[in-house]
């Protein structure tokens, strides 16, 4: 007993660390350095890149990925993947569009129904995962295919064609567009509303992760689910909650798609799930779970947005677009990993 | 919860747009009765379409209309991956269908299986892509638009409109037809034409990419998209970028017809997908019934048809019902 009483005084977790040291230990540090490098690079090679209007475009591109990357990062910290996230966005848009149209209802009714159904899909993913104990890769791959088929099947069945009818002339459209797809001018710079959604989601997720008990649960289930359960963490609830978080963001993104483009193509969204995972991984979330941050995922999305649009601003030969994009992401991630290793060695 | 949802939807009815407006518009409908008493042959169509492709949906509508009229049982399969497309064709040969319609987007992968159909005595008609290979592979005829010719029509139309610098937006990297369209436009266009690749399944990416290109080069005064769903997105991108560029497009849909009508779009080049489906089924029927073949061994062109503001109003209803 005496030894255990003495031990806390030497516990490394309780040692005072300088703010600089603490910063070095943050998961997003490396990605911020990577983002800075990509930013400086394109500022030098692409003349229009630094204009306010261009930065607003880059931020818009980043935000459409970033909104989804936030909950996907949380899910990855919790040790799981969601391959259905990309098509779920389109499902969510299709549901609100078709419900409003077929019922000739105010578009807000469709938006509400879509929220319920999308959350149910997320809960389904989480429930199936925790019940069957199968890897999330398999469960969400199944959902991915089912949603892809349902998107197409239902749209064709209900609308007769593969894209939805325009709902732009329906009641409630304008107010819903204001919330999901408008843009405002702040100090002469055009800001798409998705950028605000993105910032709010990052702030909420960061607060949850770092300041609440739920945040501890997420880190715990991602680190070691069995150990977490042994100390009383509600593993099942946490994981279902994380999947519902992804579903909520999919609903936000889906409504943005719908109110920005009026009509939705039922085959869209396939492949986007990887962009979200890439953003989270570039932002420092470990593929094995238990480590990462929402801010990191946001920076990851920003790196992706800068790289994909920067190549266009630089006016490089478009045949090499994908190669440049891949090389840029790889370099940013390598720099990220290198910085983190140095930081860990010093800390 | 269901009660709550239904209650909310009843309370929140929209007095504008929606299904009710459509029903009123579609008061009159045509029945699908056969006009001939030839045997009920089975024709299969296998295309390289991806899931949920608007264009191929219209092709199918055309084929089904002709099938209903010609007393044909029409079956349809599609796969964007060439090897799986050829497997699909093989499975229809195994089922001993009476006629085959295939698209040759990746001709080499389809060569063997088309030859097998010939050997099995199944007449083949190629549609949409593969005008060059169709005859060599032993198909009866080809029905479609020559992509290069369609591109050339775009270049000429841009000249007519006094455009100097155009952007060609490709939504699928590596699609041969897309490259041919842009190259065709480049050939006849007197100004400068640049290509831009975008991620077609990701609309916000399409928008932000076009936006950044227009910001990078404000002298661009025309944007040409290669598919109808991308035209309204390009309009948004130009607005966001503060660009005065005219937006033009290949293919047609309801949104494009509306855009042409209200002047947000310049022109559309249509290859009339409905005709490709309709003619393919009808020509197979004519061949089986009367050994007829249209076009004298040459491809039958379904486009390009340049559509501008003055045609748009007339086409709007047809786009809404999915046949234009």
- CB-CB neighbors (< 8 A) of A67 in chain B: none
CB-based contact B240 A190, cutoff 8 Å: yes
d(CA B210, CA B223): 9
What is the third-level CATH fold of B147-270+308-321? Answer: Rossmann fold (3.40.50)
pLDDT at res. A156: 86
Rounded Cα distance between A119 and A112, Å, is: 11
Percentage, residues of chain A above pLDDT 70:
93
Cis check: omega of the bond before B304, within 30 degrees of 0: yes
Q: Where are the domains of chain B?
A: 41-145+273-293, 147-270+308-321
| A312/B22 touch (CB, cutoff 8 Å), yes or no | no
pTM for this entry:
0.82
Residue of B nearest to A86 (CA): B202
Q: Which of A17-21, A39-43, A312-316, B4-8 is most confident?
A: A39-43
Contact of B224 with B166, CB cutoff 8 Å: yes
pLDDT in tens, B256-310: 999 999 999 999 999 999 999 999 999 999 999 999 888 887 889 998 999 999 9
**CATH number assigned to the domain with residue range B41-145+273-293, chosen from the 4 options 3.40.50.150, 3.40.50.2300, 1.10.357.10, 3.40.50.970:** 3.40.50.2300
**Closest alpha carbon to A57 in B239, B196, B230:** B239
Please return the burial class of B108, using the count of CB atoms within 10 Å of its CB with bins 0-12, 13-18 and 19+: exposed
Share of chain B above pLDDT 90, in %: 59
Q: Quote the CA–CA distance of A61 and B206 in Å, as a whole number.
A: 9
Q: Closest partner residue to A57 among B1, B215, B255, by Cβ?
A: B215
Residue A26 C-alpha, separation from nearest chain B C-alpha, in angstroms: 30
Task: Write phi, then psi, for B100 (nearest 5 degrees).
Answer: -130, 140
Residue of B204, B210, B253, B322 to mutate, testing the A interface (most A Cβ within 10 Å of its Cβ): B204
Contact A51 B208 (CB under 8 A): no
Nearest CA-CA partner of B252 in B120, B145, B155:
B145
Residue A52 belongs to a domain: yes
A216 is written with which tokens?
């501890």
Q: What is the pLDDT of residue A4?
A: 47
Residue A346 has pLDDT above 70, yes or no: no
DSSP state of B124: E
- Pick the residue of A257, A265, A279 with the most B CBs within 10 A to test the interface with B by mutation: A265
Kindly identify which residue of chain B lies nearest to residue A89, measuring between CA atoms. B202
Return d(Cα B239, Cα B221) in angstroms, integer: 13
> How confident is the model at residue B187, as a pLDDT?
95
The rounded distance, in Å, linking the Cα atoms of B85 and B139 is 17
Which has more confidence, A209 or B303?
Answer: A209
Q: Which residues of B touch A151 (CB under 8 A)?
A: 52
CB contact under 8 A, B19 and A103: yes
Closest CA to A249 of A104, A70, A126: A70
Nearest chain A Cα distance for residue B51, angstroms: 6
Q: How many domains does chain A have?
A: 1
Instruction: With a cut of 80, say whether residue A167 has pLDDT above it.
Output: yes
Rg (CA), chain B: 21
Predicted confidence (pLDDT) at residue A230 exceeds the cutoff of 50: yes
Task: Check residues B54 and A68 and name the one with the higher pLDDT.
Answer: A68
CB contact under 8 A, B322 and A270: no
Task: Give ipTM to 2 decimals.
Answer: 0.76
Q: pLDDT at position B11, please?
A: 55
B73: left (phi over 0), alpha (psi -120 to 50) or beta: beta
Torsion angle in degrees (nearest 10) through CA of A134, A297, B233, A325: -100
pLDDT at B204: 92
In a domain, A7, yes or no: no
Q: Which residue is closest to A145 within chain B, CA to CA?
A: B51
Question: A44: domain CATH number?
Answer: 1.10.3470
Instruction: Give me the pLDDT at residue B27, please.
Output: 47
Checking if the pLDDT of A5 tops 50, the result is no
Q: Return all residues near A279 (Cβ < 8 A) that are at least 6 apart.
A: A65, A66, A69, A72, A73, A297, A300, A301, A303, A304
Check CB contact of B32 with chain A, cutoff 8 Å: no
**Exposed (0-12), middle (13-18) or buried (19+): which is A264, by Cβ within 10 Å?**
buried
Tell me if B1 and A116 make a contact (CB, 8 A cut-off).
yes
CB-based burial, B255-285: b 16+ in 10 Å, e otherwise:
bbbbbbbeebbbbbbbbbbbbbbbbbbbbbb
pLDDT of residue A210: 93
- Measure in Å the smallest separation between the Cα of A255 and chain B Cα atoms: 12
Contacts of B20 in chain A (CB under 8 A): 104
The neighbour count for residue A4, using CB atoms within 10 Å, is 7
Rounded to a whole number of angstroms, the distance from the CA of B216 to the nearest CA of chain A is 5
- Contact present, B181 and B250 (Cβ < 8 Å): yes
pLDDT for residue A7: 47
* Nearest in space to A277 (alpha carbons), one of A261, A292, A256, A262: A292
**A90, A261, A305, A310: best to mutate for the B interface, most B CBs within 10 A:** A261
Let me know: does B214 contact B241? Beta carbons within 8 Å: yes
* B202/A162 Cβ within 8 A: no
- DSSP one-letter string for B247-310: EEEES--HHHHHHHHHTSEEEEEE--HHHHHHHHHHHHHHHHHH---TTTTSPEE---EEE-HH
Contacts 24+ apart (CB under 8 A), B312-320: B312/B257, B312/B258, B312/B260, B312/B261, B313/B261, B315/B252, B315/B257, B316/B254, B316/B257, B316/B258, B316/B261, B317/B25, B319/B252, B319/B253, B319/B254, B319/B256, B319/B257, B320/A165, B320/B22, B320/B25, B320/B254
A161 and B57 in contact by Cβ < 8 A? yes
Q: Which of B197, B201, B255 sits opposite A318 (nearest CB)?
A: B197
Q: Are A103 and B255 a contacting pair at CB < 8 A?
A: no
pLDDT digits (tens, 9 = 90+) for A287-313: 888 889 999 999 999 999 999 889 889
Burial class (CB in 10 A: 0-12, 13-18, 19+), B135: middle
DSSP-derived 3-state class of residue B104 = coil
How far does the CA of residue A261 sit from the closest CA of chain B (Å)? 7
Per-residue pLDDT of chain B (324 residues; tens, 9 = 90+): 555 555 555 556 677 777 776 666 554 444 567 888 899 999 999 998 887 778 888 999 999 999 999 999 999 988 888 888 998 999 899 889 999 999 988 888 888 899 999 999 999 999 998 888 898 999 999 999 888 999 999 999 999 999 999 999 999 877 778 899 999 999 999 999 999 999 888 899 999 999 999 999 999 999 999 999 999 999 999 999 999 999 999 999 888 999 999 999 999 999 999 999 999 999 999 999 999 888 887 889 998 999 999 999 889 888 888 888
- 3-class secondary structure, B43: strand
B183 reaches A (C-beta below 8 A): no
Task: Kindly report, residue by residue over A108-161, the tens digit of the pLDDT.
Answer: 999 999 999 999 999 999 999 999 999 999 999 999 999 999 998 999 888 878
In a domain, A10, yes or no: no
**Interface contact flag, A103 B17, Cβ < 8 Å:** no
A19 in any annotated domain:
no
Q: SS3 for B224?
A: strand
pLDDT of B139: 92
The domain in which residue A199 lies consists of 34-336
């Amino acid at each position: 007993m005496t030894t255990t009483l003495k031990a806390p005084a030497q516990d490394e977790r309780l040692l005072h660390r300088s703010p600089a040291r603490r910063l070095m230990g943050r998961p997003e540090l490396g990605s911020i350095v990577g983002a800075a490098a990509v930013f400086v690079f394109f500022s030098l090679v692409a003349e229009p890149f630094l204009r306010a209007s261009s930065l607003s475009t880059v931020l818009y591109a980043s935000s459409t990925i970033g909104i989804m990357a936030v909950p996907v990062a949380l899910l990855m910290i919790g040790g799981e993947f969601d391959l259905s996230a990309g098509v779920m966005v389109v499902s969510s848009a299709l549901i609100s569009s078709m419900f409003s149209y077929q019922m000739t209802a105010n578009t807000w009714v469709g938006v509400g129904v879509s929220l319920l159904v999308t959350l149910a899909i997320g809960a389904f993913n989480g429930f199936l995962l925790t019940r069957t104990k199968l890897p999330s890769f398999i469960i969400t791959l199944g959902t991915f295919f089912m949603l892809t088929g349902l998107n197409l099947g239902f749209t064709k069945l209900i609308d007769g064609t593969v894209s939805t009818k325009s709902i732009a002339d329906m009641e409630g459209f304008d107010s819903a567009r204001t919330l999901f797809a408008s843009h405002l001018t702040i100090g002469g710079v055009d800001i798409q509303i998705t950028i605000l959604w993105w910032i709010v989601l990052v702030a909420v997720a960061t607060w949850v992760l770092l300041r609440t008990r739920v945040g501890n649960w997420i880190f715990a289930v991602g680190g070691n689910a069995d150990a977490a359960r042994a100390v009383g963490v509600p593993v099942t609830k946490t994981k279902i909650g994380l999947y519902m978080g992804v579903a909520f963001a999919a609903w936000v993104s889906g409504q943005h798609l719908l109110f920005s483009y009026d009509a939705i193509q039922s085959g869209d969204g396939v492949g986007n799930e990887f962009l979200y995972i890439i953003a989270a991984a570039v932002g420092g979330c470990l593929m094995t779970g238990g480590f990462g941050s929402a801010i990191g995922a946001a920076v990851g999305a920003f790196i992706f947005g800068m790289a994909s649009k920067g190549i266009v601003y630089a006016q490089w030969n478009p045949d090499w677009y994908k190669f440049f994009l891949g090389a840029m992401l790889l370099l940013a991630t390598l720099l990220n990993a290198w910085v983190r290793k140095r930081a860990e060695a010093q800390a | 919860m269901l009660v709550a949802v239904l209650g909310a939807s009843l309370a929140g009815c929209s007095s504008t747009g929606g299904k009710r407006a459509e029903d009123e518009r579609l008061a009159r409908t045509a029945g699908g009765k056969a006009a001939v008493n030839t045997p009920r042959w089975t024709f299969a169509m296998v295309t390289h379409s991806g899931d949920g492709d608007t264009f191929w949906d219209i092709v199918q509508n055309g084929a089904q209309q002709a099938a209903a009229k010609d007393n044909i049982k029409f079956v349809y399969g599609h796969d964007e991956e060439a090897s799986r497309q050829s497997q699909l064709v093989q499975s229809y040969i195994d089922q001993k269908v009476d006629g085959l319609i295939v698209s040759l987007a990746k001709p080499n992968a389809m060569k063997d299986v088309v030859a097998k159909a010939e050997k099995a005595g199944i007449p083949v008609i190629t549609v949409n892509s593969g005008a060059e290979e169709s005859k060599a592979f032993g198909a009866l005829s080809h029905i479609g638009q020559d992509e290069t010719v369609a591109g050339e029509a775009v270049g000429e139309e841009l000249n007519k409109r006094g455009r100097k610098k155009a952007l060609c937006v490709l939504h699928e990297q590596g699609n041969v037809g897309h490259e041919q369209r842009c190259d065709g436009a480049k050939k006849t266009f007197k100004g400068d034409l640049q290509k831009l690749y975008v991620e077609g399944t990701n609309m916000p990416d399409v928008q932000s990419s076009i936006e950044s290109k227009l910001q990078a080069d404000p002298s661009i005064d025309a944007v040409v998209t290669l598919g109808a769903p991308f035209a309204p997105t390009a309009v948004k991108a130009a607005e966001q970028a503060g660009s005065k560029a005219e937006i033009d497009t290949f293919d047609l849909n309801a949104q494009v017809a509306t855009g042409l009508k209200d002047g947000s779009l310049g022109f559309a080049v249509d290859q009339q997908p409905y005709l490709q489906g309709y003619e393919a089924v009808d020509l197979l029927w004519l061949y089986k019934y009367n050994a007829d073949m249209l076009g004298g061994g040459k491809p039958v062109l379904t486009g390009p048809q340049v559509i501008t503001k003055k045609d748009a109003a007339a086409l709007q209803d047809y786009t809404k019902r999915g046949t234009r």
